[in-house]
Structures are given as C-alpha cells and as structure tokens.
Amino acid sequence: MSAITITRCVCQRMPFTVLAPLARERGWTLDDVMRETGCGDQCGLCQPYLKRMLATGQTEFHEVLWE
C-alpha cells in the first residue's frame, strides 16, 4: 500500500475526478485550468499533478511529483 494518495487541488478543494472531464471537454491547458478554476494558481503544489492529469487523464497519484 502506498503512503500517499493525492486526488485533488487542496486549495480549491477540487477533485481531479471533476477537473479531468471538464478539462477534456473544454480542451483546457494548464493555464486554462488555472484561469477558469483557480486550481494550481494558489500554492501551486498541485501543478505537476494537473499537468500529468491533462496529459494522461490520471486522477489519483501515489507519488510526489515535482515540476
């Protein structure tokens, strides 16, 4: 079992399972996600996760991602 599970932007309390379909539907880039939802635009710690989510559709992470 993994020690960490990351599933959302903590600052905006926004689950990646909600963000991913929205982003796919609207063709959002990371900048679009940040502008439209505020996710990634506060502490910024979720940005690497948002990037991977946008690239792969993954919504649950069990590792620490850096830039």
| Bridge partners of residue 8, in order along the sequence | 15
Minimum separation from the CB atom of position 13 to ligand FES (A): 9
Q: Does 45 bind ligand FES (CB under 6 A)?
A: yes
Q: Which of 64, 16, 24, 62 is closest to 40 using CA atoms?
A: 16
Q: Does 20 bind ligand FES (CB under 6 A)?
A: no
Q: Does 39 bind ligand FES (CB under 6 A)?
A: yes
The residues binding ligand FES (CB under 6 A) are 9-11, 39-40, 42-46
